[in-house]
Structure 1
């Protein structure tokens, strides 16, 4: 049970959001969703074109929490699974095996250009992202808690890349885009930061790792009424029946929506989840989990289009004592 009160949670969130937004200009909604994912203890996939601060967002978030161990993995075609999870070697002098931890043994792991690694190396992340542990030589080794993987990928470049399989995508709680700067003044600020050679590594921390743990615990205590849980189930079940969908949302996706909705409610200062929280997080949590039919792709229909249809048609529970 968290000892953190809602007022302290609000203060930490405001400080964290302002610190990151000081570098990621003009993107408060993107920053908020990234923090919602963090507080829900989910993994984040940032997918967008080159040069829009995907990696900088991950770095800015990581630098804002003091005491958190942060490791970066630059995914390349020649990267091996042992380069990710670690390797066990034999010490001849001591006649024992010694395990050398890989970069996944950290609180925040930044996986840059994750789709440039081979499927074999990508699969090294499957266990640790789902179970927060790595099994080497039959022995499970837990990674530090909390554990968050923030990965980036470029969706338009296909040469030398390997598309993430559905099982890997399903491990990410959210997929978000950063997008271009919304206004001229925002882009001018970005240019000024670039001219000054300002980097996200220069950001100071605004909260401790223990503060983050307390915030995660508070999010877990946010109440979600059974009718709201049913609303989540209705949305995800509709994806399995939709004519344009070949592979719908699994129960893992349903749980992810509920957990993200809890974090979103906490960020807004509430101790309970409403249907509106579910609607806000539904698309970033579900858009990468849907596999559309070939016919839908020919029509250039997207996962977001399907989710929009479902969110419009799904009956919304009436306001009640959600708390």
Structure 2
């Protein structure tokens, strides 16, 4: 793949950036003393700096001597390494992540000019080699701090709403189905099983109220003629803030055509009740779409919390937040 020619091969990276959380932030988010950012999947492929170095030396030797470090990440699809000052290396953790790498390589260059904030620039897409069985990618590094639930400035909330509306207005042909492209009712059985599993954990969540709310939102009608381009994974850790503003949006491996309600999930995974009103006032949404958005936020959180409870403090803390916020209005 042809490389971009304007990369600045900078020196030692700073402490934060794309998916960057320091240890203090990680421990603040995790309610279990033993919890760290550990392996999150049973079939996770082992990845370390030595492997990344071998891949670079074989396929991208001009960048193989740059300083590199693994980034503490709330992500669950890719291991992320910062390479020099201006690049990141992304390697799928499992075979399920391969599609995301290839989807981003195809669509990010086409989507980027149409969006109101910075998004990752694809510099190189690598092939399986040196014992690593999956495609991998080098992207441009984007500076900023990942957002955290309940702490987004009003200006950022408004900018997220603008991003959602802009994404829906995209009219690129041959769009793939989004990762969450089915009607909400299609995930009913999985979500209900996840809700019930929460009863076995020591969590301060009103499961009966969650189940009752879920029954209401899954009854909301959906016409597939409403389908639009959506990002499909607007988690706070995929949103970077810089200087009090929304600086970038990350992780486009789930994009495609789907229910526009899916991209309303920041109303519950990011916002407080007060900032949720700001978000709603600045995003284009009718009442039915809003309620389906609540349902999508619930379904994601219900699956995430039991799965990542002991392995990913960032995702599990956000899931707890969502399952409380969806009951507040």
What's the TM-score bracket when you normalise by the shorter of the two chains? under 0.3
Q: TM-score, normalised by structure 1?
A: 0.27
| TM-score w.r.t. length of structure 2 | 0.27
| Structure possessing the higher radius of gyration over alpha carbons | 1
